Amino acid sequence: MRTVTVTGQGSTRVAPDSAVVRVAAVQRATGVAEAFAAVSASVARIGEIARTHTESRHIASQGINVWTWHDNQGEARGFEARHGLAIGCPDLTAAGALLAELTAQIGDALQLDGVSLEVSDPVAAQGRAREAAYVDARERAEHLAALSDATLGVVQQIVEGGGAQPMESGGFARAAAMDLAKIEPGETQIGAGVTVTFELL
């Protein structure tokens, strides 16, 4: 039995509806203990603020570091402590409100590492992308069959995957310089790939 195997790819676009805000508290002091204590106090305050915008289970530490910091001449001047956090927000409004409050309350001890936008329930979009990938695979197979003076028979095998990423990032949140509370969702591309083997008649 002759067969043809092709890989189809499909995608669909959807607006993100949730966000992960990545921030860090950074503090300097002459001693390790002082730097660590100062950054811990800032992190505690960040946690308090974050819990007014999201659930505790969506707040996670991303790294705790202490190192020697130097001035512009390379002289050791003390220690710098850093504690990173990833804060998952249920919607973009909560993420914007969180950013606005953090910048107002934490001040210069706060570092904003980025805001990534996510689709909270991508199942429906993944299904549409998978359907598009199958249609693409069939069209490719029909073309190849026609080139070999054949027609397609029944499907022999379908394997999900084959090069397409399950989800392609739609980029990062875009916040106006004078309005940190506003986050524009844009669109995220959900992709799928299927590898299909058809009988050739």
What CATH number is given to the structural domain containing 194?
A: 3.30.110.170
Calculate the average pLDDT of the chain. 89
Least confident of 42-56, 111-125, 176-190: 176-190
- pLDDT confidence of residue 101: 94
Domain total for the chain?
2
- pLDDT confidence of residue 181: 56
Residues 112 and 156 in one domain: no
Mean pLDDT of 52-62: 96
Span 79-97, pLDDT tens digits: 999 999 999 999 999 999 9
Q: Comparing C-alpha atoms, which of 98, 116, 91 is closest to residue 20? A: 116
Q: Comparing C-alpha atoms, which of 33, 12, 3, 49 is closest to residue 187? A: 12
Q: Which residues pair with 190 in a beta bridge?
A: 12
Residues 37 and 76 in one domain: yes
Mean pLDDT of 14-29: 94
- pLDDT confidence of residue 174: 43
Residues 158 and 97 in one domain: no
Residues 11 and 40 in one domain: no
Which of 19-34 are b and which e, b meaning 16 or more Cβ less than 10 Å from the residue's Cβ? bbbbbbbbbebeeeee
Residues 126 and 86 in one domain: no
Mean pLDDT of 113-131: 91
Q: Which domain holds residue 51?
A: 18-118
Span 145-182, pLDDT tens digits: 999 999 999 999 999 985 444 444 444 444 433 345 57
Confidence of residue 40 (pLDDT cuts 50, 70, 90): very high
Q: Comparing C-alpha atoms, which of 147, 134, 94 is closest to residue 117? A: 94
User: How much of the chain exceeds pLDDT 90, in percent?
Assistant: 77
Residues 139 and 80 in one domain: no
Residues 72 and 135 in one domain: no
Residues 81 and 152 in one domain: no
* Of the residues 68, 86, 118, the one at which a domain ends: 118
Residues 30 and 113 in one domain: yes
- pLDDT confidence of residue 162: 57
Helix (H) or strand (E) holding 59: strand 59-70
Kindly tell me if the per-residue pLDDT of 117 is higher than 80. Answer: yes
* Of the residues 63, 92, 118, the one at which a domain ends: 118
Residues 126 and 174 in one domain: yes
- pLDDT confidence of residue 164: 43
Confidence of residue 185 (pLDDT cuts 50, 70, 90): confident
